[in-house]
Amino acid sequence: MKLLPHALFAFLFSLAPILAQNGDTPAKPAEKPVEEKPTQEPEVAPDDSSKPAKPQKDDTNPKAGNIDFATQILPILEKNCVECHKAPYTDADGKKKRPKGGVILDSKDGMTKAKKGKLVVAKKPDDSLIVHSISLPADDEDRMPPAKKGDPLAQDDIDLIKTWIEQGADFGTWKGTGAKTDDKSSNDKAEKGKAEKDKDSKESKESADTSGEKPKDDDTGKKGGEDLALGLEALPEATLATFADRFTVEVVEVGSPLLRVTCYGREARIDDAAIAALVPLSAHVAELVLARTPVTDAAMTTIAAMPRLSHLDLRQTAITDAGCTKIASLAHLRSLNLHGTKVGDRGLAALSQCASLQSLYVWQTPVSAAAVVALQHALPTARVVFAADLPSPMTEEQNRGGRARR
Per-residue pLDDT at 199 = 47
Identify the residue with better confidence: 281 or 64. Answer: 281
Per-residue pLDDT at 14 = 61
Closest Cα to residue 108, out of 73, 57, 146, 156? 73
> How far, in Å, CA of 358 to CA of 384, rounded?
8
| Arithmetic mean of pLDDT, 129-152 | 81
Predicted confidence band at 13 (pLDDT cuts at 50, 70, 90)?
Answer: low
Q: Nearest 5°: CA angle at 332, between 329 and 338? A: 65
Mean pLDDT, rounded, of the chain: 76
The share of the chain scoring above pLDDT 90, in percent, equals: 38
**Chain-centre distance for alpha carbon 43:** 56
Label residue 260 exposed, middle or buried (CB < 10 Å: 0-12, 13-18, 19+). Answer: buried
- Judging by DSSP bridges, how do beta strands 222-223 and 226-227 pair with one another? antiparallel
Per-residue pLDDT at 9 = 58
Is the model's pLDDT at 112 over the cut of 70?
yes
Predicted confidence band at 101 (pLDDT cuts at 50, 70, 90)?
Answer: confident
Is the model's pLDDT at 141 over the cut of 60?
yes
Is the model's pLDDT at 192 over the cut of 60?
no
> How far, in Å, CA of 336 to CA of 375, rounded?
14
Is the model's pLDDT at 240 over the cut of 70?
yes
Is the model's pLDDT at 24 over the cut of 50?
no
Label residue 343 exposed, middle or buried (CB < 10 Å: 0-12, 13-18, 19+). Answer: buried
Which pLDDT tens digit goes with each residue over 67-82? 999 999 999 988 888 8
Report the first-to-last Cα separation within the chain, whole angstroms.
163
- Judging by DSSP bridges, how do beta strands 96-97 and 89-90 pair with one another? antiparallel
Is the model's pLDDT at 33 over the cut of 70?
no
Amino acid sitting at position 109: D
Predicted confidence band at 340 (pLDDT cuts at 50, 70, 90)?
Answer: very high
Which pLDDT tens digit goes with each residue over 359-402? 999 989 999 999 999 999 999 999 999 875 444 444 455 445 44
Per-residue pLDDT at 288 = 95
Q: Do the Cβ atoms of 337 and 315 come closer than 8 Å?
A: yes
Q: Do the Cβ atoms of 339 and 362 come closer than 8 Å?
A: yes
Instruction: Tell me which fold the domain 207-385 belongs to.
Output: 3.80.10
- Give residue limits of the domains in the chain: 69-166, 207-385
Label residue 322 exposed, middle or buried (CB < 10 Å: 0-12, 13-18, 19+). Answer: middle
Q: Nearest 5°: CA angle at 391, between 324 and 201? A: 75
Closest Cα to residue 73, out of 178, 163, 179? 163
Q: Is 29 helix (H, G, I), strand (E, B) or coil?
A: coil
List of residues 6+ apart from 251 with CB closer than 8 A = 234, 257, 258, 259, 260
Per-residue pLDDT at 277 = 96
Strands in 89-90's sheet, in edge-to-edge order, are 96-97, 89-90, 180-181
Which pLDDT tens digit goes with each residue over 294-332? 999 999 999 999 999 999 999 999 999 999 999 999 999
- Please tell me which of 69-78, 209-218, 250-259, 299-308 the model is most confident about, judged by mean pLDDT: 299-308
Of 117-121, 204-208, 261-265, least confident by mean pLDDT is 204-208
Per-residue pLDDT at 40 = 53
Alpha carbon distances (Å) from 185 to 22, 86, 201, 203, 314: 121, 18, 21, 21, 44
Is the backbone peptide bond immediately before 52 cis, with ω within 30 degrees of 0? Answer: no
Identify the residue with better confidence: 71 or 20. Answer: 71
User: With a threshold of 0.75, does the pTM exceed it?
Assistant: no
Is the model's pLDDT at 12 over the cut of 90?
no
Computed over its alpha carbons, how large is the radius of gyration of the chain?
A: 40
> How far, in Å, CA of 352 to CA of 341, rounded?
18
Which pLDDT tens digit goes with each residue over 156-182? 999 999 899 999 999 998 988 754 444
Q: Dihedrals φ, ψ of 259, to 5°?
A: -120, 150
Is the model's pLDDT at 260 over the cut of 80?
yes
> How far, in Å, CA of 246 to CA of 127, rounded?
10
> How far, in Å, CA of 250 to CA of 2, rounded?
129
DSSP letters, 74-107, are HHHHHHHTTTTSPPPEE-TTS-EE--GGG---SB
> How far, in Å, CA of 318 to CA of 332, rounded?
23
Q: Do the Cβ atoms of 152 and 134 come closer than 8 Å?
A: yes
Closest Cα to residue 141, out of 341, 389, 398? 389
